[in-house]
Structure 1
């Protein structure tokens, strides 16, 4: 039996840092606006094009939007990250949990973005880009101060790890 000392043991990985609780507002506003746009389209089908099944579509959109809004606080609480010795570990998801490990030496770009609602709430998103195009990681809902300090720390770690290659 091979030794599993190098295995990623996620339940005992350490303390997870969570995103700001204010990020729930950003997600709820986005979900509601998207639901309203879909409701407007379904209403136009019903009133303008006289599509007979459009009221059922409208009701389904309202129910799905309401259920999504109800789950947003739990979904936001499931987002977290850890700064470990050699990498940054990121997780998200309730039913289908996704764990992504980004080695510091592989980070090529650390970017901060702020949407209009997040900016108003003092939040920012931190995005990491690595050499692999599909491995971009986005940590949403960080406070602006946390995002900037985390960006600076990650850039410093990435430069020191790349120098050691």
Structure 2
């Protein structure tokens, strides 16, 4: 990332990015939905209204796909996290940058989840739960081994630094 993009982040941290498989999964989902829209919407409108009306959903699907694929790539590259001595930092966002700092002592539990599609693409999601539901943090698109390592490390650090909750 460019230095101007790092205005929120503290300097000199070992930032880790998420897996490229997150981009691959989201791109496949987007293109699948666009293809479904083009085929079903185009076929239905072409059959019920006129052949030229069936082109509208096809053109919309092509436009959404052409805009969405690069946007998904930029979003995937914006996700990163860093572990510090007392807290975990998660940064993401393209247009609006967001930096979430979760102190280890405030974590109640760490959840690792992988749905069927995530498992197919070899990624998992780590969710850090705190006492406040609004301060929960999520790291999407980690390889399962890294997700397990992060879960174990965060659980151990959270237990060691618990704030008496």
Q: Equivalences for 1:1-165 in 2 at 5 Å?
A: 10-12=9-11, 14-40=13-39, 42-43=41-42, 46-47=45-46, 49-50=48-49, 55-162=55-162
Moved more, 68-77 or 99-108: 68-77
**Aligned counterpart, 1:3:** none
SS class of match (2:90)? strand
User: 2: CA distance between counterparts of 1:56 and 1:111?
Assistant: 43
**Aligned counterpart, 2:4:** none
Identify if the C-alpha distance between structure 1 residues 9 and 71 changes in structure 2 by more than 3 Å, giving closer, same or farther. closer
Which TM-score applies when normalising by structure 2? 0.80
SS class of match (1:62)? helix
User: 1: CA distance between counterparts of 2:163 and 2:99?
Assistant: 27
Moved more, 106-115 or 56-65: 56-65
The count of aligned residue pairs is 158
Shift of 1:40: 4.4
Which TM-score applies when normalising by structure 1? 0.80
User: 2: CA distance between counterparts of 1:11 and 1:159?
Assistant: 25
1:16-72: CA deviation from partner (whole Å, max 9, x where unpaired): 111122222111112112323433453255135528866434412321222211232
Shift of 1:150: 0.5
Moved more, 19-28 or 116-125: 116-125
Across the aligned residues of Structure 1 and Structure 2, the Cα RMSD in angstroms comes to 2.5
Moved more, 60-69 or 39-48: 39-48
1:75-132: CA deviation from partner (whole Å, max 9, x where unpaired): 2121100111221110112122111111111112211111223313322111111111
